[in-house]
Amino acid sequence: MEYFAPATLSEALSLLKKWTGKARIVAGCTNTIPDMRSKAVKAEALIDVSHLRNLSFIKEEKKRIRIGALTTISGLTFSRTINKYVPILSEAARQFGNPLVRNRATIGGNLADASPAADTAVPLLVLEATVVTDREREKNRQIPIDRLFVGPNKTILKSDEMIKEVTFSKPDLGEKCAYAKLGLRNAMAISLVSVAVLLQIEGGECKKARIGLGAVAPKPIRAYRTEDMLIGEKITESLMRDCCQSVEREISPISDVRASAEYRRSMVSLLLRRLIQQIVSEGNR
């Protein structure tokens, strides 16, 4: 296996083009090293982009926030900008693995790996983030995050394309968010279920609703039908009950060694109810 450590983004993209379909991009290596040990890596070349420091940043603009692909999960946890404007993203980051993993894992790697349980994907779905990518002959391709994932560990990224940054609008005044993750243990827990909710409630009526779900389908998903049920309605006990039933129909969880499909289905319903109640309660204070 060949190993390359490009010093610039253009050099990295040139290597990706040269080794199209045969290379694997690495940075924190939190997934690659276990895969190499289990001999799951089939790449003929590793392209280590961890030296591209210009891809590690969190920038606040007038109406948007931009996050470089090499920003670590710890960077999200401690960022004043992230904690101020999108605390659900820092909350998801705090529940990501353990401190050693958070110090090395990157947001770009977490998204490119495309695990159905990807921790950062769920809050980014409700924030309607855009993933910006580069390849040698196509710069700044913008991919809505709900179109990035196509299945377990599969994205629409081309084999010579890499994530450069993630960007999203700052939540509007009145938009409230909440996030919850259920795992088997506190440290290094892969999500059994994760849920993020964004609601905008004015005069007791829901004007905007976004629901992101993880580990309950072949990819991180938005619960579009359940969102539509909330918009234009007052949040009542009856509506929450209907939404919980709806979200259970929108998912397709599997049974594995960590949990049954039935358990995941019931937990999605429970967490969704709790998060909606949390947002409504905060809005009434």
Residue 252 has pLDDT above 90, yes or no: yes
| pLDDT tens, residue by residue, 12-67 | 999 999 998 898 899 876 666 666 666 666 778 899 999 998 999 999 999 999 99
Name the residue ranges covered by the structural domains of the chain. Answer: 2-169, 175-283
Alpha carbon distance 135, 185 (integer Å): 39
Among the listed residues 216, 217, 225, 126, the one whose alpha carbon sits nearest the alpha carbon of residue 179: 126
Q: Fold match between 2-169 and 175-283?
A: no
| pLDDT tens, residue by residue, 96-151 | 888 888 999 999 999 999 999 999 999 999 999 999 999 998 999 999 999 999 99
Residue 271 has pLDDT above 50, yes or no: yes
This model's pTM is above 0.75: yes
Among the listed residues 163, 160, 161, the one whose alpha carbon sits nearest the alpha carbon of residue 20: 160
Alpha carbon distance 201, 209 (integer Å): 9
Per-chain mean pLDDT for the chain: 92
Tell me what pLDDT residue 41 has.
Answer: 67
| pLDDT tens, residue by residue, 141-181 | 999 999 999 999 999 999 999 999 999 999 998 999 999 99
User: Which amino acid belongs to residue 168?
Assistant: F
The contacts of residue 185 (CB under 8 Å, 6+ apart) are none
Q: Which CATH number fits domain 175-283: 2.60.40.10, 3.40.50.1820, 3.20.20.70, 3.30.390.50?
A: 3.30.390.50
| The domain defined by 2-169 carries CATH number 3.30.465.10 | yes
Among the listed residues 137, 123, 14, 10, the one whose alpha carbon sits nearest the alpha carbon of residue 67: 123
Alpha carbon distance 190, 30 (integer Å): 13
Which residues share a beta bridge with 211? 197
Percentage of residues of the chain with pLDDT beyond 90: 79
The answer to whether 259 and 234 have CB atoms below 8 angstroms apart is no
Residue 231 has pLDDT above 80, yes or no: yes
